[in-house]
Structure 1
Amino acid sequence: MQEPLGPVHAEPAVVGQEPVLRLTWTDRVTGAHGYLVVHTLRSGIATGGTRMRAGCTLGEVEDLARGMAAKTAAFDLPVGGAKGGIDFDPKDPRAFGVLQRFVAAMQPYVHAHWVTAEDLGVPQHLIDEVFASLGLGQSYYSAIRRSADPDATMERVRKGLNAQVPGGLLGDVIGGYGVAHACLGAATSFGWAVEDTAVAIQGIGTMGGGAAWYLHEAGMKVVAVADAAGTLYAPNGLDVPALLDLRDGYGEIDRTRLPAGVAQLPRSAVVGIPADVFVPAAISYAITPDNSFDVAAKVVVEAANAATTPEAEAMLAARGVPVVPDFVANAGAAAWAWWLLLGWVGMEHNDVTTAEDSFRLLRTQMAEKVQLLLGRWHSDAVPPRETGLALAVSDLDGQEHTLVIP
């Protein structure tokens, strides 16, 4: 095991540079491989979730860590970007043990530098259970231990994550809320009335389900959702709350109890559903050169990390279809977690205030950023990713932040 990373005031790297650290781990019980990539350090901290899926690779985790570096910079957070990943099936009954052993092996980094959270295949309650079993309290441990009052910060984090809001717990839905407002911002940029805008969503788990809920609540027509079992389609709009109630623990919808009028299509069909907005919210590399021409939407909003390959994104741009990149569109959960840690939200004494402040801050920032990205697309045909990366790099090149957690 390597020693903890460098000095706590390490200068931030530019998003395009080599990562600070690549680490490969092998589970001695199952033979599974796990990876930690720290792309940037700011204030001696890097943040990024831990995912688990069969086939996860070091290259994938590296791409995701780079995206996290862009995400934290674009939202002006005083931390760098990292990512953890484990090549293992999260449905395997041994998965909890694999995750527990991975986190145990990563303790030098968890203690000193790495703040992690949920990701694909690893819900927040599960990773929190692992951290608690190791005596680390909660997955934000590395940040909480630096705070002026760790007990008060831990209480603020737990209260924020577990605040009950429409659609579920605040910590579960805030990322999807941000994606929904990225979609709403795109509709505004294109001049579409919300009620006349159709959206198709690939993935109906935490991120996709939260986005579907809040888009439905806003009046946008969610015409298709896809899970591992296939695509569900209704051209006049799906009953999103009813479908979400039919999900199991893996985000799959019970087909035996579908509402009337819902067509069942192959899983891959969601990419080509006639819609104004397509939201890939399931897996990385969902849009590739092979299926990019199937995309029927006028704009893609990435809810999954690295949902579009660079080649596919260039092909979409050539067709006049912009991609709102993941490090903006799906940054809500990461940004909000740090706002909560930093006391920018959640300092009041009731859950309602915490939720109202959180939603207000996120929708304001998301609207501003999507307007900037798509504004340049409309005026100068500059791809949104290029504008977003320029925004991130300008922040990284600016004055180094000081991390102060109350």
Structure 2
Amino acid sequence: MTLTPISPATAAGVDAVLPVPGVDRRRPPYLRMEWSDAETGAVGYLVIDTLVHGMATGGTRMRAGCTIDEVADLARGMSNKTAAFDLPVGGAKGGIDFDPKDPRAHAVLTRFCEAMRPFLDRHWVTAEDLGVSQETIDSVFAELGMRQSYHAAIERSADPQATAARVLGGLNAAAPGGRLGDVIGGYGVAQACLAAARVRGQSAAETTVAVQGVGTMGGGASFYLHEAGMRVVALADASGTLYHPAGLDVPTLLAARDRYGEIDRAVVAPDVMRLPREAVLGIDCDIVVPAAVSYAITASNAARIQAPIVVEAANAPTTADAELDLTARGIAVVPDFIANAGAVAWAWWLLLGHVGTDYRDSFDRLRSRMDAKVSALLTDWTPAHGPVRWTADVSSTTRSAEPLVVP
């Protein structure tokens, strides 16, 4: 296990810094740690990018090929999300280089969390991410004697048992499309898409969208876009892209997903085109939503994108050089730390008691904030300003000095 602590200034809550033209303003993370699993050889990583009030938040992912640099990028993104939504917490991320479909994956995740216990007890609030469902990580926490994956924040409350009950009630509350805790992130992405369309003067019914990935985030976004009246013309999973210019039967396709977010092709209508997986990025549509893996849009495939808007639902789905290429072509990329921040923002609203089990309160709060943020970013944006990410820079955000109090 390797620990690399950084300066006290960062621990005090210095927020993540975004790249600006010609200047590398990135500072090192507060902590980078590597863990090795003696039983399988799996390697896990924890990166705490920033601590605010002694806390950081960010999910834990599992995928073959996961690297420390990937986790560090994602942790920096979490710092940006928490700053953009004015949350009283810093950013972190966990990652494990292991195949989540391997039958040993649950045991690997359990041993990783056990090794991270000192941080999970006091400083790091984690949750689902690529390859790790919320149900899975909560079951691991239960096995380790912790109430839930928000354990570190829950234990700060005056009544941890009552706080845990409130959190679990919110996570498991019924909402259109599924459990509130599962769908809230996708709902936020959908609201980002709807706001972007409105800025362009398009109604939902006039707007077409292609979604790469039908897991928790992509599936939720697709469901709510379909519910809002947008035509979801393409959905892509690991097996390929499903395309129909008149729009897909999104609810039927989502209902046929397996636990890994892949659609059973037996339910696909015969008039739906079956294209290669990578074809989704080049679909002729108004909005492309990368909601699968990091670094999906690169300099080598960015030229395929025809849509005038990209809304980042995955974490870090667009490389920096690809984003510059897209911007030069007049394509607006709504950055992940805005578009997909709904899940983390909602989790902390739930922890702090701002929302509860009524999904309508959560939806109203997230819709108003996402609409305001995306509208403000895109209304006067032009390619001459550089990537939308630069306009959304949160590096100067100052956090409240008030102590973090979880009711």
Deviations 1:291-330 (A, max 9, x none): 0000111100000000000000000000000100000000
Whether contact under 8 Å (2:11, 2:52) holds in the other structure is yes
| Residue 362 (structure 2) aligns with | 358
> Are residue 231 (structure 1) and residue 241 (structure 2) matched?
yes
The equivalent residue for 1:311 is: 321
Aligned 8 A contact 2:163 2:351 in 1: yes
Query: Which residue is equivalent to 1:93?
Result: 103
Secondary structure at 1:393's aligned position in 2? coil
| One-letter code aligned to 1:394 | S
Shift of 1:224: 0.1
Of 214, 219, 236, 1:209 maps to 219
The answer for the alignment partner of 1:11 in structure 2 is 12
**CA shift for structure 1 position 78:** 0.3
Once the two structures are superposed, residues 219-273 of structure 1 have per-residue CA deviations (whole angstroms, 9 ceiling, x without a partner) of 0000000000000000010010010111111110011221232110000100100
Is the Cα–Cα contact under 8 Å of residues 4 and 112 in structure 1 kept in the other structure? Answer: no
Inter-CA distance 193–87: structure 2 relative to 1 (3 Å threshold): same
Counterpart among 171, 179, 193 of residue 183 in structure 1: 193
Cα shift at 1:399: 4.0
Distance 2:194 2:246 in 1: 18
Distance 2:150 2:166 in 1: 12
Inter-partner Cα distance in structure 1 for 2:342 and 2:256: 25
SS in 2 for 1:231: strand
Query: Counterparts of 2:129 and 2:339 in 1: how far apart (Å)?
Result: 15
Q: Distance in 2 between matches of 1:107 and 1:332?
A: 26
Q: Can you list the C-alpha shifts for 1:58-113, whole angstroms capped at 9, x where unaligned?
A: 00000000000000000000000000000000000000000000000000100110
Contact 2:58–2:125 (Cα < 8 Å) also in 1: yes
Aligned twin of 1:76: 86
Residue 381 of structure 2 aligns to which amino acid in structure 1? Answer: W
Match of 1:341 in 2: 351
**Offset at 1:376?**
3.7
Q: 2:19 maps to what in 1?
A: none
Aligned residue number for residue 394 of structure 1: 396
Residue in structure 1 matched with residue 52 of structure 2 by the alignment: 42
Task: Provide closer, same or farther for how the CA distance between residues 78 and 46 of structure 1 changes in structure 2, counting only shifts above 3 A.
Answer: same
Structure 1 vs Structure 2 CA RMSD:
1.8
Q: Which residue of 2 aligns with 1:21?
A: 31
Q: What is the one-letter code of the residue matched to 1:199?
A: V
**Distance in 1 between residues matched to 2:213 and 2:379, nearest whole Å:** 28
Counterpart residue number, 2:229: 219
Aligned length: 397
Alignment of 1:47-66 (within 5 A): 47-66=57-76
Separation in structure 2 between the aligned mates of residue 92 and residue 401 of structure 1, nearest angstrom:
45
Q: Kindly, what percent of the aligned residue pairs are identical?
A: 62
Amino acid at match of 2:133: P
C-alpha change, 1:244 and 1:11, in structure 2 (3 Å) is: same
Relative to the length of structure 1, the TM-score reads: 0.95
5 Å-filtered alignment, 1:138-177, equals: 138-177=148-187
- The normalised TM-score by structure 2 is 0.95
When residues 202 and 24 of structure 1 are mapped into structure 2, their CA distance, relative to the original with a 3 A threshold, is: same
Cα 1:398–1:158 shift into 2, 3 Å = closer
**How far 1:50 sits from its partner (Å)?**
0.1
Shift of 1:46: 0.2
Query: What whole-Å deviation, never above 9, does each CA across 1:8-64 have from its counterpart, x for those lacking one?
Result: 994212313210000000000000000000000001000000000000000000000
SS at match of 2:62: strand
Tell me the distance in 1 between the aligned counterparts of 2:296 and 2:202: 26
- 3-state SS of the aligned residue for 2:381? helix
Amino acid at match of 1:205: G
Q: Distance in 2 between matches of 1:109 and 1:398?
A: 22
Matched, 1:371 2:381: no
